[in-house]
Amino acid sequence: MDQQNQNQSCHYDKLMEFFYNNSKDQSKTGDSWDKTQLILVQVVGCLFCCFILFSNAMVITAVITNRRFHFPFYYLLSNLAASDFLAGIAYVYLMLNTGDVSRKLTVSGYFFRQGLLDISLSASLSNLLVIALERYVSIMSFKVHSNLTKRRVTLLIFLVWAISILMGAVPSMGWNCICSLDTCSKLAPLFSRSYVIFWSVSNLVMFLIMVAIYIRIYMYVKKKTVGMKQHTNNSLNRKKTPIKLIKTVMVVLGAFVICWTPGLLVLLVDGVCQSCKVTKFKRWLLLMAVANSVMNPCIYSYKDQEMWRTIKNLMQCICNGTRRQRSLRANTRHLHSGQETGNSPLPSEGNEE
């Protein structure tokens, strides 16, 4: 009777250790972190996250500064980079609040930690779906870029983030197991299994929709390019330009599906099977998620030569700016030292090469 009353009462005042202990497969003896392993994961994870933050910031800056990227496709691509940037922040926060530290989190602290991850994943997935639709509209008319106005692109970006924030906030808004402990997930001890099933199934369905869209695009493009050999090389290159953009997005989508499908399937198993031991896969699934955010900016720069050139120019500007600042500081110190000793250089000497 006491156990039944405990399961039916709410536990908003409890720390996460209470919920981890409630999840039988996540007891301290079941899936505890070795201290050395935890430190290694945190150090390597934070290094990856630094790369994620820097590289995606460079992609966003490249789109802003290069007028050749001022088209709907690249605006949406930069928004995808922004979602990866948020993922980098979420991973850093997760790395600093995992292991034994996670057991000391409050309910609101855990919801905030998981909410950041869920928002970044939802934003990435929504962006990929919007990009797929944009590519479909442009390729059906066999154009490099669609005719979407900046106002419509801005609206799409706003909708992506609004939906993502809503999805990340749903568990904290009530779809959780705080008042019904017997429905808790093992992988996410505050989330109810029904929500975990909904989350995994909805994302898998979106994967299938995007794959279907790109299969349709590929078949259409292949049919259209059958008679291209009779055109000049310049014309052929112009025709290949939209195909290159499709290949870039298809590689990004493929990496996303490969990195996230195992995690979604494990979440689905966790939701439908109470006796299955799934927590041993948790850290490896997190590693795959981090790897996906590391891969995306590399794919952009590798598949798009103009993007890579722009990023290289930005890095050179940063390096040159840093050198100029160091040189300016050195000259200032030298000038100040000369003034103190009464040996300051003449104006004509300062301009000599």
Position 352 scores a pLDDT of 42
pLDDT at 290: 83
Task: Render pLDDT for 254-300 as a digit per residue (tens, 0 to 9).
Answer: 888 888 888 888 888 888 887 777 777 777 787 888 888 888 888 87
Which tokens is 258 given? 């490969």
φ and ψ at 192, to 5 degrees?
A: -75, 150
Share of the chain above pLDDT 90, in %: 19
Question: Which residue from 104, 113, 112, 109 is spatially nearest to 20, judged by alpha carbons?
Answer: 104
Sort 82 into a burial class: Cβ within 10 Å, 0-12 / 13-18 / 19+. Answer: buried
Whole-angstrom distance, CA of residue 198 vs CA of residue 202: 6
Question: Residue 42 has what pLDDT?
Answer: 76
Contact assessment for residue 164 and residue 122, using Cβ atoms and an 8 Å cutoff: yes
- Tokens for 125, please give them: 């997935």
Residue 27: pLDDT band by 50, 70, 90 thresholds? very low
pLDDT beyond 50 at 108: yes
> Per-residue confidence at 156, pLDDT binned at 50, 70, 90?
very high
Report the chain's C-alpha Rg in angstroms.
26
Instruction: Please report which residue ranges of 149-192 form alpha helices under DSSP H.
Output: 150-169
Each domain of the chain, given as residue ranges in start order, spans: 31-228+243-327
Mean of pLDDT values over 220-246: 60
- Rounded CA gap, 251 and 233, in Å? 26
- pLDDT of 120-149, one tens digit each? 989 988 998 898 888 888 877 767 667 778
Q: Is 88 exposed, middle or buried (0-12, 13-18, 19+ CB in 10 A)?
A: buried
Q: Please tell me the predicted confidence (pLDDT) of residue 97.
A: 83
How high does pLDDT run on average in the chain?
79
Average pLDDT estimate for 7-16: 77
Burial of 317 (0-12, 13-18, 19+ CB in 10 A): exposed
Local confidence band at 198 (pLDDT 50, 70, 90 cut-offs): very high
pLDDT at 28 over 50: no
Q: Which superfamily is assigned to 31-228+243-327 in CATH? A: Rhodopsin 7-helix transmembrane proteins (1.20.1070.10)
Most confident of 13-27, 230-244, 313-327: 13-27
- Residue 345 pLDDT exceeds 50: no
Q: What pLDDT sits at residue 288?
A: 82
Q: Determine the pLDDT at residue 144.
A: 65
For residues 76-96, give the mean pLDDT.
90
How would you write 333-346 as a 3-class SS string? HHHHHHHHHCCCCC
CB 44 within 8 A of CB 95: no
Could you tell me the pLDDT band of residue 160, with boundaries at 50, 70 and 90? very high
> Residues 196-222: what's their mean pLDDT?
86
**Between these two residues, 24 and 229, which has the higher pLDDT value?**
24
Across the range 112-125, mean pLDDT stands at 91
